[in-house]
Amino acid sequence: MNPKERAAAGRELRRSVPRSSHAEWGPAADRRDPLAVLAEQDTARVADLLPIRYGRMADTPFTFLRGAAAPMAADLATTRVTGLRAQLCGDAHISNFGGFASPERELVFDVNDFDETLPGPWEWDVKRLAASIAVLGRVRGFDLSLRRGLVTGVIAEYRQAMRRFAGMRNLDVWYAHLGEASFHRRWENGELSAKDRKAFQRSLEKARHKDNLKAMARLTERVDGELRIIDDPPLVVPIENLLPAAEVEPAYARMRAALGEYRRTLQGNRRHLLGGFRLLHIAHKVVGVGSVGTRAWILLLVGRDEQDPLFLQVKEANTSVLEPYAGASRFSSHGRRVIEGQRLTQIASDILLGWCRMEGISGRKHHYYVRQLWDWKHSAHVDALSPRLLGVYGGWCGQTLAHAHARSGDRIQMAAYLGGGTVFDEAIADFAESYADQTEADHGTLKVAIDAGRIEAQTGI
């Protein structure tokens, strides 16, 4: 179809799936227990770490939502969709956006978590983002009017950005990005107070210093004259403290073999770059909320000397929570699924992104993806942002999500469906409040299960 026909097709979709219908949410009569859905994920995770996962999820309804991508995926699968698909983040809550360094060493803003990425209905990402803002607003004590204003503002940014992308040429959409120049333009427009501008500037400066040298200062120490990753159990545990002595060297051998496989997934020039580093030390690191319990390794490598460090994160990739509802990935490796999805949707990706498989002690092969641990990576502490700054930050999230979907989906049909009015924005705001009710109820169910001793939780970690 030509652009005019695609736009007409997008508008026609409003007849079968009215934009107002996206407001609808109510648990199905046969809705599964969300704790049972979470328990299914536990079977593939490190059992000793699960109490940390549930302790973090139990903290607030917002942390519950962050860890409950699987239950929400099951819920979203019961909602109305247009049939238009894009490459989804799969876990597009507001804390999964942030800054990182482009290969040109510019700080850019984008989605920064792709563990669940998969092609699927674009509405699912939008609804998870909106629900996360509504739940966060409740945790922070915002009234309904403020919460609704934040959600509709973010969704309006998504809709308007999609309409801009619909009018752009393919290459221009691909090259578009949200960088520091965009941040400063919004400051100049008076959208942020002087106090908020200072806070955001400090955040940018902090991101620029979050690099491999900073990681070395924070995460290493000298042990018998050797540079080693610190022992900070249970969050960071060197491999020598994790395994019996007889199993340590075989574990290093398995990791070196995995790195060899990973190296082959890089572009030739990046393989050459990686070849200039040698593996020095391995540790296990607990990460995130929803990811707690997955196998996540950090590797210390050195190049020219010990003042030339490289930290890699080798993180386990399991089946996407979307696959039961959106279809299986076309990739046999879940590590590759994550990386291919990231490359398709992200503005500029880490130059050392790749994937591998690695055999565990049991002999089972686990899927992993690999990236730099810190490369100007930074996410805002959304529980501390002023309402005005949260609105601006959420707007960036909305624009960014639209860009990800525009790169992989039919942006012209999507933009025509969304339209120039606020019908869709208001419907999603209704959904977000209803799903915030559901999240609070599910969080309460978790708390009851913990109090009754049915689920073990470790708090404060």
Which 3 state secondary structure label does DSSP give 452?
Answer: coil
Whole-Å CA distances, 167 to 122, 158, 172, 395, 406: 19, 15, 10, 20, 11
pLDDT of residue 347: 83
DSSP codes of every residue in 296-350: EEEEEEESSSTTSEEEEEEEE----TTHHHH---S-S-HHHHHHHHHHHHSSS--
Share of the chain above pLDDT 90, in %: 76
Q: Which of 210, 197, 205 is nearest to 385 (CA)?
A: 197
Give the span between the Cα atoms of 218 and 63, in whole angstroms.
26
pLDDT of residue 452: 97
Whether pLDDT at 362 is above 70: no
| Average pLDDT of the chain to the nearest whole number | 92
Longest CA pairwise span in the chain (Å) = 71
Q: Which of 213-222, 285-294, 311-320, 390-399 has the lowest mean pLDDT?
A: 213-222
Span 272-309, pLDDT tens digits = 999 999 999 999 999 888 889 899 999 999 999 988 99
Mean pLDDT of 201-219: 73
pLDDT of residue 384: 87
Residue with tokens 């966060």: 136
Span 31-57, pLDDT tens digits = 999 999 999 999 999 999 999 999 999
Mean pLDDT of 128-152: 98
Domain boundaries of the chain, sorted by first residue: 3-209+379-451, 212-372
Question: Which distant-in-sequence residues (6+ apart) come within 8 Å of 160 by Cβ?
Answer: none
Residues 85/122, Cβ–Cβ less than 8 Å:
yes
With bands split at pLDDT 50, 70 and 90, how would you rate the model's confidence at 75?
very high
Q: Which of 227, 355, 250 is nearest to 302 (CA)?
A: 227
Give the span between the Cα atoms of 14 and 26, in whole angstroms.
22
Element (H, E) at 87: strand 85-88
Task: Please list the residues that pair with 299 across neighbouring strands.
Answer: 282, 312
Span 374-432, pLDDT tens digits = 766 777 789 888 899 899 899 999 999 999 999 999 999 999 999 999 999 999 999 99
**pTM listed for this prediction:** 0.94
pLDDT of residue 103: 64
Give the span between the Cα atoms of 340 and 330, in whole angstroms.
11
pLDDT of residue 192: 67
Q: Which of 384, 383, 423, 424 is nearest to 402 (CA)?
A: 424
